[in-house]
Structure 1
């Protein structure tokens, strides 16, 4: 059994050495649906005038305009307890456009935060025909964070 594993490992290393462009291309390939939905990044966390200032970068890759996007979020402290439940209104999101939104959360201590849970949409409207809003509200969220605070759903 160990010999078979060794042979497989040697074959994999040989293939990677012979075809480095293929190996790096497959590792760097984005997920098939990466261009659909909304990309939401927690970009910066800093003390604000009222509490903790959260800066988000959001990109609308749904292919449709979103007139108003609101999401319910839960902030957890380092002890794992809910610090605050709130709704963040990201406003209008044009298709294929990246925007920055900031939220100053009163009474929240930035150093005490550990994670942010996006519970889900709290309401949104899209285009002239609000029947299209429901799919836009539930568009896949691609979450990321450039801070020490994890962003999850």
Structure 2
């Protein structure tokens, strides 16, 4: 009987961790490329909105983006760190895209999420949670 109670106690202790992982896998995290404007010195400044409706805050969220020129050729790879992303909030982040004009960008490809870590939890695969939107002339795709 004691052995069964021990297993039950261990199982119940693990439930909060399972709940965090399950909650992180529900809802959506919308990444919106909201606008471009010329950078202060050169290049292009990108305004991103992150709408976190996953039920969890993220202490780690890093994206690797491929910036494609008007010919569809990859101009550069850019890694951006958007953390933290609080739960049930929309967060604005600005990123500089160096050495390319805003009008010269045809598409932004999200080719990898290097870090997606809910607060107080292990890394997860965020791709199923992501919805991508662009309000610019350039597409935002995965």
Question: What SS does structure 2 have at the residue aligned with 1:111?
Answer: helix
1:126 equivalent in alignment to 2:115: no
Aligned to 2:36: 45
1:38 and 1:69 map into 2 onto residues whose CA distance is 11
Structure 1 position 69 matched with structure 2 position 61: yes
Partner of residue 36, structure 1: 27
Whether contact under 8 Å (1:75, 1:117) holds in the other structure is yes
Q: Distance in 1 between matches of 2:140 and 2:81?
A: 17
* Alpha-carbon shift at residue 122 of structure 1 (Å): 1.1
| 2:102 aligned residue | 110
**How many residue pairs get matched?**
116
Q: What residue ranges of structure 1 are gaps of 5+ in the alignment?
A: 1-34
Unaligned runs of 5+ in 2: 1-25
Partner of 2:50: 58
Aligned to 1:82: 74
Q: Tell me how far apart the structure 1 counterparts of residues 118 and 78 of structure 2 sit (CA, whole Å).
A: 22
Q: 1:145 aligns with which of 101, 116, 134?
A: 134
- C-alpha offsets along residues 30-72 of structure 1, whole Å, 9 cap, x if unaligned? xxxxx81210111110111241100011111111110021011
**RMSD of Structure 2 on Structure 1 (CA):** 1.5
Normalised by the size of structure 2, how large is the TM-score? 0.76
Report if aligned partners of 1:38, 1:139 keep a CA contact under 8 Å in 2.
no
Secondary structure at 1:38 match in 2? strand
Structure showing greater radius of gyration is 1
Give the secondary structure class of the aligned counterpart of 2:103. helix
